[in-house]
Structure 1
């Protein structure tokens, strides 16, 4: 997700880029509804041991002693993170966290929260990190509110682990000729609040000609936006491509939605860490590099059918 604190990237600079067709695996579980209350779920291996883990000594001592990294995440964003039918947190992020946890000898404990509160939770030390399809942007790195241009915090560091763009989707068989953001003029679009999709919609609304107003309805999470569109309350929705593609494949048995047009705003997802916690950032970067080199990263990305978004190395603050 991208944000003003954008969930993905700021709408001010449109970098149109096709990330490539990401085929969402047909065997994925249907999305469970993640509430926005505190909900802890360990993404780490029960057998993780700091004494035997190869990178345990790189962690801050307090984290090693605790044996847990608390992760703030909006667990309603399939296939990146979501609840399966049993209520377990699953997806790309939990799988990557589990693999990194084995390198570091700790468990990654996911706690559910609305996306636009995750960085606040990180600042208040409720979480050690935020891992939630969060786009690495300069504004977030510097603690700048993208809407106002004002500094709202000290900013965060990002360990970049995936790349994704933003897509538009409509009800299946009813795209109303919508292929681009310009085509949304005169229409109503639903998005998740404080995401790149939200920012892009607001930027496009300023460009629409008189008499063709773009109406925007923003929700706390992407599932609420999908429900609104499914019920006929909007003409289109927008979210990150992996999420839009997953919804098109699974919602209503694949009969509810279709993705239209090309992806835009290709940008990296990053694990957010407080700037003061450089030791933890370096440990996470080393753990991500380790699973990339071992091939475990590629196996996880392939499991979820999103190989086109894979990275070749763990980059620190690669967002623009």
Structure 2
């Protein structure tokens, strides 16, 4: 996904928050094409049977072009150089690509443009913490590889007494085109149906800006995927805290064209092999989010 321009954070925000904001640098350039990040070149095809199931375009080019929203730390975000895409999704799929004997090239894009980009052939895949939903499965194939829920985050000490089940009248930040936007919109409707003030929903293009809205005081709270929200708490050096419990856990899925069922099944097999070898959990452990590991990888679960 593409990030907006780097937010201006309040002076009280520590060095850790500054680092988080830097991960969003270069957003304006990313929206016009931006930089890409490629996985390491494989030394050899590790599984000829899997490689045989690659789509012809990937076989020919030797690389998988992947659309990603590089604003979603620790899953996918920009390194301090403002160009290189890094994160759990990058490390894990680089290992998957090695199973096929090809490279993975991550291309930053707006989150809500990725599935369309896969449909149009602009990207071979979309990997960007996509929760698997029935609506998305109508458009594309999805291969499950991780599970995450939703976590609410507020300023340290929760000065506005944010309660996810009664956030009426509060300012709540959320990223555009996410399941969390659907969530908070439904919660706001419940508020108005009960005769209360609606939630003032602040919608941002990138998750980095969502986090900055809370640290700056523009928003009273935010909601995001659990690994992302908890990583923000850690990276902001005590400026934020988790509110309430994780809920609505669901699998993440790799996005591929609807026509590429064989490739989807091959991705399932590659993930199973990585799970058996220990490489799967190793990629998650590097970012401290191995609690979301699964072993029931599947095409369109």
Work out which of the residue numbers 166, 182, 185 in structure 1 matches 2:150: 166
Taking the TM superposition and a 5 Å limit, the aligned residue runs for 1:145-164 are 155-164=139-148
Counterpart in 1 of 2:24?
33
Taking the TM superposition and a 5 Å limit, the aligned residue runs for 1:1-320 are 30-31=19-20, 32-33=23-24, 35=27, 36-37=30-31, 38-50=33-45, 53-54=47-48, 55-86=50-81, 87-142=83-138, 155-179=139-163, 181-208=164-191, 209-251=194-236, 254-318=237-301
**SS of aligned partner of 2:72:** coil
Which structure is richer in relative contact order (CA contacts within 8 A, separation 6 or more)?
1
Distance 1:74 1:48 in 2: 28
| 1:40-98 per-position Cα deviation (integer Å, ceiling 9, x unaligned) | 43442223444x54432221233112101110100110000111223421111110111
Following superposition, the deviation at residue 287 of structure 1 comes to 1.4
Contact 2:42–2:103 (8 Å) recurs in 1: no
| 1:145-164 per-position Cα deviation (integer Å, ceiling 9, x unaligned) | xxxxxxxxxx1111100000
**SS of aligned partner of 1:238:** strand
Distance 1:203 1:130 in 2: 27
Number of paired residues? 276
Distance 2:80 2:219 in 1: 28
Contact 1:168–1:238 (8 Å) recurs in 2: yes
**SS of aligned partner of 2:52:** helix
| 1:106-147 per-position Cα deviation (integer Å, ceiling 9, x unaligned) | 1110010111111111111100110000001111111xxxxx
| 1:13-60 per-position Cα deviation (integer Å, ceiling 9, x unaligned) | xxxxxxxxxxxxxx9x9431152422343442223444x544322212
Contact 2:39–2:104 (8 Å) recurs in 1: yes
TM-score, with length taken from structure 1: 0.81
| 1:159-201 per-position Cα deviation (integer Å, ceiling 9, x unaligned) | 100000001101112342223x222112110000111111111
Seen in structure 2, the aligned counterparts of structure 1 residues 175 and 317 have a Cα distance that, compared at 3 Å, is farther
**SS of aligned partner of 1:58:** coil
Following superposition, the deviation at residue 212 of structure 1 comes to 2.6
Contact 2:140–2:256 (8 Å) recurs in 1: yes
Where does structure 2 lack aligned partners over 5 or more consecutive residues? 2-15
TM-score, with length taken from structure 2: 0.86
Distance 2:182 2:231 in 1: 22
Counterpart in 2 of 1:11?
none
Q: Which structure has greater helix proportion?
A: 2
Where does structure 1 lack aligned partners over 5 or more consecutive residues? 2-26, 143-154
Seen in structure 2, the aligned counterparts of structure 1 residues 120 and 245 have a Cα distance that, compared at 3 Å, is same
Contact 1:83–1:89 (8 Å) recurs in 2: yes
